[in-house]
Amino acid sequence: MRALQSHVTTIGTLVAGIVLVGIVPFAVAPFTLADLTLYAAMAILAMSLGFIWGFGGILSFGQSVFFGVGGYTYAIVALNFDSPSLALLAAIAVAVTGALLLGYFIFWGRLSDVYLAVITLTISLIFFMLINSMSSSIYRIGDVPIGGYNGIPGIPPLVVPGTDRSLSVAETYVLVVTVALLVYLGLSWLIRTKFGRILCSIKENEVRAELLGYDARLYKLAAFAVGAAIAGMAGALFAVYSGLINPDVFGIGFSAQIIVWVMLGGLGTLIGPALGAVLIQMLVVWLGKVQVIDANMALGVLFIVAVLLVPAGLVPRLQGLLAIAFGNLARSRP
């Protein structure tokens, strides 16, 4: 069964990859491709939280911190050293370092549930406040001013390695979508490894896992760092996409959104959070266009309704319905 599932994942991803990378870039306008690039970057971020929360039981309200740190690091390194590829690596490295540091305090303090949520939320608020207040030109790293609430503009795009040629809109789209698909495959694989199974067992029953000899703190820290690396990369890709990064990525509204993506899409799956991110991003873009109702208000209502009515999320719901349908089908066969 597990092998079958793994095949389904691989084949599904391949088909999605062929459609998204092989057909879509030729079929839609560049403007739409840019939108799709954003959705793909957000889907990567959503999967990073979907992984640590759904499979590691770590409800972090600060996943946006790693995203923002990744974006800022990319901007600062790319502008200082004129090397986007180095900047991408730096973004991941800084996010992981931050996660190891923060993770030490969280997991060695054995903070859980509420405490973990509040601490991570607090960290993102610290970043939000500090970076917002750094608008004076004395706050700079190398040649790049932090820019306070205005953020850092003019972030360079990625280049073809070894040359000076910047990636076009379509190429950036292909890159980000490919990364998203690889992250999906990579995490699906990681969950099925021994590490992933131990992580899940810790989520289910930490005491029992520890009595069996596994150090829960280490496993959680490792998962947290993997999540941070992915989120940091998503942040860097986001900075590439938008050419601008500002403190809003540390804001409470954005951290809330990530949680809604995962929650609505389906906790305990990887595809659910990714779909949730895309759907809600589309909704937010649409709300911004029609201007009928405050986007925050709409998100808030959606949030409450999701928790009260679809606590399991859309994808598990659908899977459940499908299972029932197929089950009936199988039974009705002679």
Partner 1 sequence: MLHDMNGLLMDLLAITLLEIFYGIASLALISLGLAIIFGMLRVINFAHGEFLMIGGFSFIMLTTAGVNMWIAMLIGAPLIVGLLGIVVERVVIRNLYGRIVETILATWGLSLFLMGAASLLFGYFQRGVSPPFGTLKIGNYQEGVYSIFVIVLAAAVYLSTYLVLRYTKLGLIARATMQNPEMASSLGVAREKVYAVTFFCGAALTGLAGAVLAPIAGVVPTSGLAYIARSFITVITGGATVIAGTGIASVLFGTVSQLTAILTRPVWGEAILLLTAVVLLRFLPAGITGRYFRNGL
Which residues of the shown chain bind partner 1 in the complex (CB under 8 A)? 59, 105, 108-111, 113-115, 117-119, 121-123, 125-126, 129-130, 133, 252-253, 256, 259-260, 263, 293-304, 306-308, 311
* Closest CB 302 distance from partner 1, rounded Å: 7
Which is it for strands 140-141 and 144-145: parallel, antiparallel or unpaired? antiparallel
Residue with smaller CB distance to partner 1, 100 or 130? 130
Residue with smaller CB distance to partner 1, 218 or 306? 306
Residue with smaller CB distance to partner 1, 86 or 125? 125
Residue with smaller CB distance to partner 1, 12 or 300? 300
**157 contacts 238 by C-beta, under 8 angstroms:** no
* Closest CB 295 distance from partner 1, rounded Å: 7
Please state the φ and ψ torsions of residue 112, each to the nearest 5 degrees.
-135, 175
Q: 């991003």: which residue's tokens?
A: 281
Residue with smaller CB distance to partner 1, 105 or 189? 105
d(CA 107, CA 243): 35
**103 contacts 224 by C-beta, under 8 angstroms:** yes
Residue with smaller CB distance to partner 1, 8 or 305? 305
d(CA 263, CA 267): 6
Cβ neighbours for 306, distance < 8 A, ≥ 6 positions apart: 260, 263, 264, 313
* Closest CB 102 distance from partner 1, rounded Å: 8
* Closest CB 133 distance from partner 1, rounded Å: 4
* Closest CB 184 distance from partner 1, rounded Å: 24
d(CA 265, CA 42): 13
* Closest CB 114 distance from partner 1, rounded Å: 5
Where does the chain show beta strands of DSSP type E? 140-141, 144-145
Beta bridge partners, 141, equal 144
